[in-house]
């Protein structure tokens, strides 16, 4: 879309603004004075100490009159700047309304004023003021959203203008063969630095081999409760088969799931006195991979590959990389006050990056999960993910949900709820009860993911002791995943055939885009990764 069409489509209608219920009036004098209409039709004069902040001239009379005209790039930017000036003016008036309402609340609660009012009258006034204050807060929230959207649009328009100017200058310099190389190269470099991520984020084609650097992290692979004594857990990680079991000391170990003798899968055997026994000829291996028994033959010095393996906070961790393991394992415990209610493991036929894309996206919920947790959700006019400029965590607006991507493959989320399946409030702090979720997407192979899911609640602890409740949670989790899988499997098929699944990101894709930028840096082998401390 060119700059002219964009300006016409994105320009905010400053002439159609709705007047505020409280109309500040500027009075001549040596200080700023504001008048608020009272119930009797008169006005109450208030000396304001915030005159410098709110004494802002209405920009609408000075707005450029371009209606029905074809705009060039500079005129489009001028319209956008007037839009932002109007939004700033409107936001100041919204804040002023809240301040004046606060003064009225203080006046109503004043002991001298209470002597002349009945309890019923006082209660009625307070209810009315509370409703007005809530409306004013809501208006401020809307103004903030409009200002943010306006800045996003202005930045995008400036980018289009810069690209157009760059093209014009490049064309001019091409027609001037005697121009120096330094003057022709510099603008191109500047233009490349200004390219939006959505223009160069390409996730298409068959899944590429995993870069060795992606292996140099601690990966959670199982829940401790699932690894009993004398049992084993087979699993794949980065295209290699592994098996986890407990040694004589009860500590877990992870060895390659292939016998050194005849390459038989060890998980077909059994665990005998802290050693895993091959079912083919009975060779037995300890948790460090050393073969300690060879029935019917002389014992040889034979080993199979093993990985560093530790147990912490109810999870089994491995280090599949070639670099020395990090000294500390990260903590994935739920916040204080939460109780773990379910731990579920699933094997899913999708590449783990696609699954992470899905988990880091909440805007799809009212369209995809209409039969489960998002049933009855309304579709917001604007969905945003608010986050620091250099972080991988933040919160959703208007949903009361906090979310974080924790490298290399973990998604943490805290959801404010009033009852299962229903949202309340505009932030998690405004909600009385919460659901905390942990999703671990282990890259088993190019087209398979081992998903570890942990659900915790800060209410109803008795649910943990209801018989067979674990099966109910698993059924619900599977139902939610099925709603996603039919979409993600379709994405995977088209991605493998060459479609770009990140062809046109929008503002609510911010966390997913940052994950992809982090992942691309890993695939390039960069030691200093973006958005990480």
Each residue of 326-355: pLDDT tens digit? 999 999 999 999 999 999 999 999 999 999
Task: Over range 452-480, report the average pLDDT.
Answer: 92
If phi > 0 it is left, if psi is from -120 to 50 it is alpha, else beta; for residue 143 that is alpha
When mean pLDDT is compared across 167-171, 277-281, 486-490, the lowest value belongs to 167-171
DSSP E strand boundaries for 216-360:
219-223, 232-237, 240-246, 252-256, 270-272, 275-277, 284-285, 291-293, 306-307, 309-312, 315-318, 339-348
pLDDT at 28 over 60: no
Q: What percent of the chain has pLDDT above 90?
A: 50
pLDDT at 72 over 90: no
Give the H or E element holding residue 127.
helix 119-174
What pLDDT was estimated at residue 70? 73
410-419/433-445 β-pairing: antiparallel
H, E, C per residue of 482-515: HHHHHHHHHHHHHHHCCCCCCCCCCHHHHHHHHH
How much is the pTM?
A: 0.64
Residue reference for tokens 């879309």: 1
**What confidence tens digit (pLDDT) does each residue in 178-223 have?**
433 333 333 333 334 444 444 478 999 999 999 999 999 999 999 9
CB 529 within 8 A of CB 522: yes
What pLDDT was estimated at residue 339? 95
Task: Over range 292-318, report the average pLDDT.
Answer: 97
pLDDT at 235 over 80: yes
The CA distance from 439 to 345, in Å, is 10
Token pair, residue 395, equals: 């919160």
SS3 content of the chain, % helix, strand, coil (to 5): 40, 20, 40
Local confidence band at 129 (pLDDT 50, 70, 90 cut-offs): confident
Local confidence band at 23 (pLDDT 50, 70, 90 cut-offs): very low
Q: Is 291 helix (H, G, I), strand (E, B) or coil?
A: strand
Angle at 144 between CA 139 and CA 145, to 5 degrees: 100
CB 111 within 8 A of CB 119: no
The CA distance from 89 to 275, in Å, is 74
What pLDDT was estimated at residue 81? 81
What pLDDT was estimated at residue 78? 79
What pLDDT was estimated at residue 389? 80
When mean pLDDT is compared across 42-56, 298-312, 445-459, 463-477, the lowest value belongs to 42-56
């Amino acid at each position: 879309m060119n700059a002219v069409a964009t300006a016409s489509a994105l320009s905010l209608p400053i002439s159609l603004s709705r007047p505020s219920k409280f109309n500040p009036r500027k009075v001549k004098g040596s200080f700023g004075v504001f008048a608020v209409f009272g119930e009797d039709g008169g006005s109450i004069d208030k000396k304001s100490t915030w005159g410098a902040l709110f004494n802002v001239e209405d920009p609408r009379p000075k707005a450029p009159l371009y209606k029905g005209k074809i705009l060039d790039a500079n005129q489009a930017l001028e319209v956008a700047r007037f839009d932002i000036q109007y939004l700033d003016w409107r936001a100041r008036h919204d804040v002023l309304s809240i301040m004046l309402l606060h003064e009225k609340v203080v006046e109503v609660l004043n002991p001298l004023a209470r002597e002349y009012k009945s309890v019923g009258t006082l209660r009625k006034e307070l209810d009315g003021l509370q409703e007005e204050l809530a409306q004013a807060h809501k208006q401020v929230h809307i103004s903030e959203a409009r200002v943010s959207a306006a800045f996003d649009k202005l930045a995008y328009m400036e980018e289009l203008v810069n690209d157009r100017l760059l093209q014009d200058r490049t064309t001019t310099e091409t027609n001037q063969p005697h121009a120096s190389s330094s003057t022709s190269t510099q603008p191109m470099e500047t233009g490349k630095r200004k390219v939006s991520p959505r223009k160069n984020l390409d996730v298409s084609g068959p899944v590429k081999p995993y870069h060795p650097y992606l292996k140099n992290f601690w990966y959670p692979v199982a829940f401790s409760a699932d690894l009993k004594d004398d049992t084993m857990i087979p699993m794949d990680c980065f295209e290699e088969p592994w098996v986890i079991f407990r040694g004589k000391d009860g500590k877990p170990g992870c060895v390659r799931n292939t016998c050194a003798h005849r390459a038989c899968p060890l998980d077909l055997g059994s665990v005998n006195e802290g050693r895993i026994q091959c079912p083919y000829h009975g060779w037995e291996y300890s948790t460090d991979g050393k073969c300690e028994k060879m029935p019917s033959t002389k014992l040889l010095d034979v080993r199979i590959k093993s990985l560093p393996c530790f147990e912490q906070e109810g999870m089994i961790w491995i280090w599949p990389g070639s670099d020395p393991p990090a000294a500390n394992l990260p903590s994935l415990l739920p916040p204080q006050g939460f109780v773990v209610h379910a731990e579920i493991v699933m094997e899913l036929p999708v590449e783990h990056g696609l699954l992470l894309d899905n988990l880091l996206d909440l805007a799809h919920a009212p369209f995809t999960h209409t039969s489960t947790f998002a049933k009855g959700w309304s579709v917001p006019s604007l969905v945003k993910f608010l986050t620091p400029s250099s972080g991988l965590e933040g919160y959703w607006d208007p949903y009361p949900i906090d979310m974080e991507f924790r490298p290399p493959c973990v998604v943490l989320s805290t959801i404010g709820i009033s009852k299962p399946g229903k949202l309340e409030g505009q932030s998690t702090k405004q909600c009385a009860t919460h659901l905390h979720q942990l999703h671990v997407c282990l890259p088993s192979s190019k087209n398979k993911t081992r998903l570890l899911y942990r659900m915790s609640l800060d209410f109803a602890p008795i649910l943990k002791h209801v018989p067979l409740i674990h099966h109910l949670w698993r059924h619900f989790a599977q139902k939610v995943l099925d709603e996603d899988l039919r979409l993600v499997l379709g994405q995977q098929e088209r991605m493998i055939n060459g479609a770009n699944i990140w062809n046109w990101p929008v503002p609510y894709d911010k966390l997913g885009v940052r994950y992809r930028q982090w992942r691309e840096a890993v695939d390039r082998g960069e030691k200093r990764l973006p958005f990480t401390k």
